[in-house]
Chains A and B, each alone.
Chain A
Amino acid sequence: MKVLVPVKRVIDYNVKVKVKADGSGVDLANVKMSMNPFDEIAVEEAIRLKEAGTATEVVVVSIGEKKATDTLRSAMAMGADRAVLITTDQGVDIEPLAVAKLLKAVIDEEAPDLVIAGKQAIDNDMNATGQMLAALLGWGQATFASEVKIEDGAAIVTREVDGGMQTISVKLPAIITADLRLNEPRYASLPNIMKAKKKPLEEKSADDFDIDITPRQTIIATEEPATREAGIMVGSVDELVAKLKEGGFV
């Protein structure tokens, strides 16, 4: 069974982004970038399937600037076998619909049995690509996965939903999107980081595909969210109780 994992290079989750003064966007200059945390979880799950003998090969794919090579190398250092990079113009964030179309083109060629994506990219917070890809392929989908079992041509997936957990069975090939509790991603060891440098990385350009990736959405303005007025520190529980009473909460 071949598993394909799409990985996105995003701003590191520890960075608090700043909106540019002119409202034209957020400041990404000299900011630390990393693999989208949900994609690390997706890569880890794919590698575990391989270690368990369920999967035979793990292919990682990224769409973005040339620098996304680093993200793909990190995924290969964790244990992915090879990588495909589809380069796009610098500084342009490709929308989920276009990402899904490009991924579909790769999938038509690679014919994986399972795709594990992240549930959400932590930059645009869209939570859409996996579902869109499943639609374009006509495949089933199991989003927000916290447990995955592969049995008799199907994936049995426990999902984190609003009211608790839901378990569904989805026929393969299928798309799964990873939620936080699916696993804890490993750190790549130094020897594996070295080995990953020699693993195959195929590079294509988005222009090589006959796919229109023109954005459907125009970002007219980017603003700072409303800021909260500074509050006060209270000195004791009594003082806190008094404040809660004043506020009418008790």
Chain B
Amino acid sequence: MTVLCLAEVSGGALALDATSKAVTASAKLGDVTLLVCGPKAAAEDAAKIAGVSTVLLADDPAYANGLAENIAALIVSLKDGVTHITAASTSIAKNVLPRVAALLDVMILSDVIEVVDADTFKRPVYAGNAVQTVKTSDAIKVVTFRTSTFDLAADTGAAAIEAVTGTGDAALSSHVSDDVSESDRPELTSAGVVVSGGRGVGSEEDFALIEKLADKLGGAVGASRAAVDSGYAANDLQVGQTGKVVAPDLYVAIGISGAIQHLAGMKDSKVIVAINKDEEAPIFQVSDFGLAADLFQAVPELLEKL
């Protein structure tokens, strides 16, 4: 079995957490070749992930911005002898891998949380309210892995790096600009602590309370869809069925009601704390420690006492 895994590269650097976890999952299927679309330095970092036998470096700028048409064609050109094409379920992989699957006339297995065997996988459906065990009959399996359920691989690897070129720019789309959220906080999907705010926070100014608490706990900031839609928080902070999925050691939900779409993104957290003034809020049904209180009193008090 040979697995071709697409490494996650963002802002010209290897995203180690996502890539390493995807390698852990991929290694359950066979020998892992990691494809790095980015600069040589990213490939050098990727070569250190244990379990990777070869790193393929594609440094043509056509592959640099996650453009699906170019990267999908590159992956298809590398398919000989490959049984599985995998990646972490990031926005880049969700964009590229279904395109690869269709070019190969196979289906996709999105957001896999468990590898049962080479062609059987578990994945959540209906906002995580059910988990399906799915067996595929496709010759090549195209899989994205939900990283929150896989561990990091060791960093003791020393894989060889080979250059690949592919067909370059398909000229169907082009990159215009990036508007990257800058933050000194830990990354949302890999942080040990996440503090999220919802509509109850009420305004962008007051969202600073959430940020202060996150900083106090050394955590990342998250948000509900309502908080993002209302402009209190950036879109890339949305946790949930159609946002990011997190499973930190501690998740603190503040002014969040606990809609199924939100729970889908955080209910696998180890410890859940909820602060909500409505004691009937559904979030309390999944929380380990619930505090029925007005957040504008409770959070400042918490900041003071921690």
A interface residues, Cβ below 8 angstroms from B: 11, 13, 16-19, 26, 38, 95-97, 100, 119-120, 122-136, 139-144, 146, 156, 158-171, 174, 179-181, 216-226, 228, 230-234, 236-238, 240-241, 243-244, 247, 249-250
Using Cβ atoms and an 8 Å threshold, which residues of chain A touch B305? 237-238, 241
- Do A225 and B136 have beta carbons less than 8 Å apart? no
Say whether B1 faces chain A, with CB atoms less than 8 Å apart.
Answer: no
- Do B66 and A166 have beta carbons less than 8 Å apart? yes
- Do B130 and A219 have beta carbons less than 8 Å apart? no
Q: Which residue of B lies closest to A156 (CB)?
A: B176
| Interface class of chain A by DSSP | mixed
How many Å lie between the Cα of A221 and that of B132 in the bound state? Answer: 6
Q: Separation in Å of the B131 CB from the closest CB of chain A? A: 5
How many Å lie between the Cα of A246 and that of B191 in the bound state? Answer: 20
How many Å lie between the Cα of A250 and that of B249 in the bound state? Answer: 12
- Do B178 and A125 have beta carbons less than 8 Å apart? no
- Do A180 and B225 have beta carbons less than 8 Å apart? yes
Say whether B174 faces chain A, with CB atoms less than 8 Å apart.
Answer: yes
- Given A95-B107, A217-B136, residue A100 in contact with residue B95 (CB < 8 A): no
- Do B126 and A166 have beta carbons less than 8 Å apart? no
How many Å lie between the Cα of A179 and that of B236 in the bound state? Answer: 12
| Interface class of chain B by DSSP | mixed
Using Cβ atoms and an 8 Å threshold, which residues of chain A touch B91? 144, 159-162
Using Cβ atoms and an 8 Å threshold, which residues of chain A touch B101? 97, 128, 132, 135
Q: Which residue of B lies closest to A249 (CB)?
A: B250
Say whether B267 faces chain A, with CB atoms less than 8 Å apart.
Answer: yes
B interface residues, Cβ below 8 angstroms from A: 10-11, 65-69, 72, 90-92, 94-103, 105-111, 120, 124-138, 170-181, 189, 193, 217, 225, 228-229, 234-236, 238, 241-242, 244, 249-250, 260-261, 267-268, 271-273, 279, 284-293, 298, 301-302, 305-306
How many Å lie between the Cα of A50 and that of B190 in the bound state? Answer: 43
How many Å lie between the Cα of A86 and that of B288 in the bound state? Answer: 47
Q: Which 7 A-B pairs have the closest CB atoms?
A: A140-B172, A131-B98, A132-B102, A135-B102, A128-B98, A231-B288, A165-B179
Q: A125-B124, A233-B284 are in contact. List 9 more A-B contacts (CB 8 A).
A: A127-B110, A131-B96, A143-B68, A166-B65, A168-B176, A169-B176, A216-B106, A225-B124, A231-B290
Using Cβ atoms and an 8 Å threshold, which residues of chain B touch A136? 102
Using Cβ atoms and an 8 Å threshold, which residues of chain B touch A174? 172-173
Using Cβ atoms and an 8 Å threshold, which residues of chain A touch B306? 241, 244, 250
How many Å lie between the Cα of A119 and that of B174 in the bound state? Answer: 20
How many Å lie between the Cα of A219 and that of B123 in the bound state? Answer: 10
